[in-house]
Amino acid sequence: NAGVTQTPKFQVLKTGQSMTLQCAQDMNHNSMYWYRQDPGMGLRLIYYSASEGTTDKGEVPNGYNVSRLNKREFSLRLESAAPSQTSVYFCASSEEDGFRYNSPLHFGNGTRLTVT
Amino acid sequence: DQQVKQNSPSLSVQEGRISILNCDYTNSMFDYFLWYKKYPAEGPTFLISISSIKDKNEDGRFTVFLNKSAKHLSLHIVPSQPGDSAVYFCAASATGGGNKLTFGTGTQLKVEL
């Protein structure tokens, strides 16, 4: 059971470089999310996709773009990386409104990104 | 503005004793609450949830209590085991908010032998 798979696991970027974080889920979930985790801040929602073909901003979307490539895949792009984007990034998926039916968010294992 | 607060960054408990993790929220629209557990180098995993129509939900060793008037919830783990050592995140959502969760900052639980 793969669940939610994120690549890469680690990445170091220089300021101004770009990169795409990849996420794929094999649970046939409708909704997918990108969170970032910073010390003392908990997890904060960057972008989400309630269903294939839709994306919406979360709490901290600045500096990021997303693509819901198909039902399985949801990528996060940093066009010009900044040191403030140093963080651990988590992708998650769920049934639409799933947590109200005991199908809560399923997370990947994260991508640790450092921007120097 | 932190809408979900976990004021204790860490907690240390002896094996076999009760662990109590606390969470406070400020948004009165929140009506569904969850606890997630996170081990190092892994993503958070769902532990237990509670709807605002209840004040208690139990699953094995884990019980979540909700006090709506105080905007407070707590997670009780009895008995605590060394494998419970992890970071615990409280999360909340509001009707109409889809599956968007607002997370607390987490509490590191250490269960000592």
Q: Give the C-alpha separation, A56 to A78, whole Å.
A: 16
Phi, psi for B84 (deg, rounded to 5): -80, -10
First vs last Cα of chain B: how many Å apart?
A: 38
Residue A109 has pLDDT above 70, yes or no: yes
- Whether a cis peptide bond, with omega within 30° of 0, leads into B82 is no
Residues in A touching B52 (Cβ below 8 Å): none
Residue A24 is predicted with a pLDDT of: 98
Residue B51 has pLDDT above 70, yes or no: yes
Residues in A touching B96 (Cβ below 8 Å): none
- B1 at A interface, C-beta within 8 A: no
Q: Are B47 and B35 in contact (CB under 8 A)?
A: yes
Does A99 contact B34 at a Cβ distance shorter than 8 Å? yes
Structure token pair of residue B39 = 């081990």
Average confidence score pLDDT of chain A: 91
A50 pLDDT band, cuts 50/70/90, is confident
Q: For A104, which residue in chain B has the nearest alpha carbon?
A: B46
Q: Are B19 and B109 in contact (CB under 8 A)?
A: yes
- B92 at A interface, C-beta within 8 A: no
Q: Which of A42, A58, A97 sits opposite B89 (nearest CB)?
A: A42
B2 pLDDT band, cuts 50/70/90, is confident
Among A40, A41, A67, CA closest to A55: A67
Structure token pair of residue B56 = 């208690």
* Average pLDDT of the residues in B35-54: 94
The CB density around residue B7, as the number of other CB atoms within 10 Å, is 10
Q: Which residue has the higher pLDDT, A58 or A96?
A: A58
Residue A95 is predicted with a pLDDT of: 81
Residue A100 has pLDDT above 60, yes or no: no
Residue A97 has pLDDT above 60, yes or no: no
Residue B90 has pLDDT above 70, yes or no: yes
**pLDDT tens string B15-39:** 999 999 999 999 999 999 999 999 9
Q: For A30, which residue in chain B has the nearest alpha carbon?
A: B99
Instruction: Count interface pairs A-B at CB distance under 8 A.
Output: 65
Q: Give the C-alpha separation, B101 to A61, whole Å.
A: 15
* B residues 18-77 closer than 8 Å to A (CB): 32, 34, 41-46, 49, 51
Structure token pair of residue A74 = 């949801």
First vs last Cα of chain A: how many Å apart?
A: 35
Q: Give the C-alpha separation, A3 to A47, whole Å.
A: 20
Pairing of strands B10-14, B107-112: parallel
* Average pLDDT of the residues in A2-19: 95
- Best of A33, A37, A87 to disrupt the B interface (most B CBs within 10 Å) is A37
Q: Give the C-alpha separation, A91 to A68, whole Å.
A: 12
